[in-house]
Structure 1
Amino acid sequence: MPRPQILLVEEFYFAKKEWDDLACIADILVCDSPNRESFIQDCASKYNNITCIYSSWRSAEITGVIDEELISKMPRSLRFIAHNGAGYDQIDVSACSKAGIMVSHTPGAVSRATADTAIFLILGCLRNFPQGEYNLRKGSWRSETSVEIGNDPNGKTLGILGMGGIGRSLAERARIFGMNVIYHNRQKISWTNNARPLAEYVSFEKLLAKSDVLSLNLPLNSNTRHIISSLEISKMKRGGIIVNTARGGVLDTVALIEALESGHLKSIGLDVFEEEPHIPRQLVENPRVLLLPHMGTYTIEAQYDMEKLVIENLERAVEQARLITVVPEQKGQQEHIMTKRRY
């Protein structure tokens, strides 16, 4: 009986030993298709017996979005897509489910590094550090007219929109700095393993109204695109701060710039953008904006943990026809989904 085949549409850079071990239970194919058109053609030939695909955000440079069109061209043997990343907006999960393809992602592996990044942005915006750096790079020192005096995090209210693994890690860190933490989520969290809740659950409206700092920590999908726009920003405190380490599309960039220029927002900290790597000039040139080039998980430790979890998902897929960290849209539906697509 032929061994399962795994198609690698991205390299492994950190968990190389674990990846080599995976070759003991499956045949590894390396994608050499230069673009989407070639990839589709190759799915009918050299990739026509694959069981699993390993993808990441870089894979889209070859395949484009894994949408209904692409899925319809993939071999019927494909059962699993193991994606490297907590966010998976490059994959149409609904189309995958209809085709009987299960999808995994790497939520827990990114929590610590992304939460650390959010804390960096929060502290920088509260203390007006971007203004100070902006002055220094121009050859000027701090003065009362060039750098506004900042605020301590202690006693400020942090509102977290999306209390998944990253949100929880952020809440833990924010409490160390003396911040009051509130959150809004699709469902209220049960804090059974904590002496007291990490954060207070509030309505979306109250989250906007009470937050001194609003942190976005939710996935990007059709329901969350531009979840924060002009109307939502207008409901925030004047002088508030927004930090985004989730996906650029959850935040309306035009509305954000308008609120910053009008003074309604004091400062913003961004690690993600709507049209990466393009960043609007109004953000780049504004000294009240703290910018990072999508570095939330850009650490050796986080990258290793992410790759390792992808490999564990692939191992489970090959050996047990299951995934460990199934995307939320497919949780509890594996048996139903898997009956839709057969070898």
Structure 2
Amino acid sequence: MAKPAVLLIGDLAHTNKEWSILSSKYTLKEFRIGTREEFLSNLKSGEYNDVIALYRSNQSVSETGPFDSEVIALLPESLKFICHNGAGYDNIDVKAVNERQISVSSTPVAVDDATADVGIFLMLGALRQAHIPLTALREGKWRGHAGLGHDPKGKTLGILGMGGIGRAMAHRARAFGLNITYHNRSRLAPELEGGATYVSFDDLLAKSDILSLNLSLNPKTRHIISAPQLAACKPGVVIVNTARGGLINEAELVAALESGHVASVGLDVFEEEPKIHPGLVKNERAFLLPHVGTMTVETQRDMELLVLKNLESAADEGRLLTRIGEQKGLPWTKDDAGKVNGHL
């Protein structure tokens, strides 16, 4: 009996050995380096017609481009699972994969701690407006014209999106004496809230001294923070974003920052990466990082391992361990248990 075929798209940094070991169970196919045109050609030629599951990542966009409707339409009928390396998966057309009844997993949990660590770092940097003294020091000006910052203690941190990263952010924030409020599509169970207060979206904006964005980017959440929402925030609010740049209308954020309504920002993500709005780059009250939230050896390895575990679970049992939220409860899926459409 032929072994199931699985496909790796892009490179592996930490788990090449684990990938190779899978050859005892599966036929391993690879598209580590190439162009979108080459990948589309391979799809059209039928090279992957026996592949049942594939591994891809946010980084592999450089090889194939986004998994948009063009790519999804050409995926072989055999393919039932896309195992994605990344907490965010906005470069996958979820509507198109749902129409094809292809299950998708991401890497929650593995990214929670590292992303929340960076979130706290950005929050503190924005509160203390750390960009000014950091830059002055390297220019030989000691503190430069640094003014007084603010302490986190006693302030209200509003978390928009209380998933794994949001909860990890809240856990760390409590050590700084912050009061935690949050807004989700639905309220969490008490054991997951950890003492945080559930509020409406409007109340989150109106009452937060610091607003942290920790939700996924999709058509419904794109520009969820724009001019009207910024105007509804407290004067002097601090905004932190470690999720996706497209959650914020960057030009309108710049305007609110320049007016002083937004006191400062801590950003690890941007709307058109790697391009950054020049108004953010030049503003000394913007504490910026180049999307490094998960850039640790430990986290990157954990992410790769989780994708391989999803790949194995898909090929061996016909199920994913960490299916994306948009697919949970769909008629053709069985969430995290059983088999999918009788596959395997």
Q: Describe the SS at the equivalent of 1:136.
A: helix
Q: Does residue 1:177 correspond to 2:187, yes or no?
A: no
Partner of 1:15: 15
| 1:124-172 deviation per Cα after TM superposition (whole angstroms, max 9, x unaligned) | 11112112112223322326xx212011111011000000000000000
Q: Give the letter for the 1:3 counterpart.
A: K
Answer yes or no: is the 8 Å Cα contact 2:57–2:84 preserved in 1.
Answer: yes
Partner of 2:97: 96
Partner of 1:53: 54
Partner of 1:136: 137
Answer yes or no: is the 8 Å Cα contact 2:129–2:287 preserved in 1.
Answer: no
Distance 1:163 1:68, change over 3 A: same
Q: Give the letter for the 1:219 counterpart.
A: S
CA-CA distance at 1:62 after TM superposition: 2.1
Answer yes or no: is the 8 Å Cα contact 1:85–1:106 preserved in 2.
Answer: yes
- RMSD after superposition: 1.8
Partner of 1:106: 107
Q: Describe the SS at the equivalent of 1:243.
A: strand
Q: Give the whole-Å Cα distance in 1 for the aligned partners of 2:331 and 2:63.
A: 28
Q: Give the letter for the 1:231 counterpart.
A: P
What TM-score do you get using the length of structure 2 for normalisation? 0.94
Q: Give the whole-Å Cα distance in 1 for the aligned partners of 2:302 and 2:333.
A: 30
Answer yes or no: is the 8 Å Cα contact 1:76–1:342 preserved in 2.
Answer: no
CA-CA distance at 1:193 after TM superposition: 6.4
CA-CA distance at 1:202 after TM superposition: 0.4
Q: Does residue 1:119 correspond to 2:120, yes or no?
A: yes
Select the structure with the greater relative contact order (CA < 8 A; seq sep ≥ 6). Answer: 1
CA-CA distance at 1:92 after TM superposition: 1.1
CA-CA distance at 1:69 after TM superposition: 1.9
Q: Give the letter for the 2:272 counterpart.
A: E
Q: Describe the SS at the equivalent of 2:294.
A: coil
Q: Give the whole-Å Cα distance in 2 for the aligned partners of 1:193 and 1:45.
A: 47
Partner of 1:67: 68
Partner of 2:78: 77
Q: Describe the SS at the equivalent of 2:266.
A: strand
Q: Describe the SS at the equivalent of 1:160.
A: strand
Q: Does residue 1:283 correspond to 2:280, yes or no?
A: yes
Answer yes or no: is the 8 Å Cα contact 1:5–1:51 preserved in 2.
Answer: yes
Q: Give the letter for the 1:148 counterpart.
A: G
CA-CA distance at 1:33 after TM superposition: 6.4
Partner of 1:161: 160
CA-CA distance at 1:46 after TM superposition: 1.9
Q: Give the whole-Å Cα distance in 2 for the aligned partners of 1:278 and 1:65.
A: 18
Alignment of 1:1-343 (within 5 A): 1-31=1-31, 34-43=34-43, 44-142=45-143, 146-192=145-191, 197-333=194-330, 335-336=332-333, 338-339=340-341
Answer yes or no: is the 8 Å Cα contact 1:168–1:198 preserved in 2.
Answer: no
Q: Give the whole-Å Cα distance in 2 for the aligned partners of 1:201 and 1:52.
A: 39
Distance 1:334 1:88, change over 3 A: farther
Q: Give the whole-Å Cα distance in 1 for the aligned partners of 2:226 and 2:74.
A: 37
| 1:20-76 deviation per Cα after TM superposition (whole angstroms, max 9, x unaligned) | 222221111111562222212201332222111111012212222212221111111
CA-CA distance at 1:336 after TM superposition: 4.7
Q: Describe the SS at the equivalent of 2:6.
A: strand
CA-CA distance at 1:213 after TM superposition: 0.6
Answer yes or no: is the 8 Å Cα contact 1:134–1:287 preserved in 2.
Answer: no
Partner of 2:337: none
Q: Give the whole-Å Cα distance in 1 for the aligned partners of 2:289 and 2:33.
A: 31
Answer yes or no: is the 8 Å Cα contact 2:10–2:33 preserved in 1.
Answer: no
CA-CA distance at 1:333 after TM superposition: 3.0
Distance 1:192 1:342, change over 3 A: closer
**Gap regions ≥5 residues in structure 2:** 335-339
Q: Describe the SS at the equivalent of 2:157.
A: strand
Q: Describe the SS at the equivalent of 1:108.
A: coil
What percent identity do the matched residue pairs reach?
Answer: 50
**Gap regions ≥5 residues in structure 1:** none
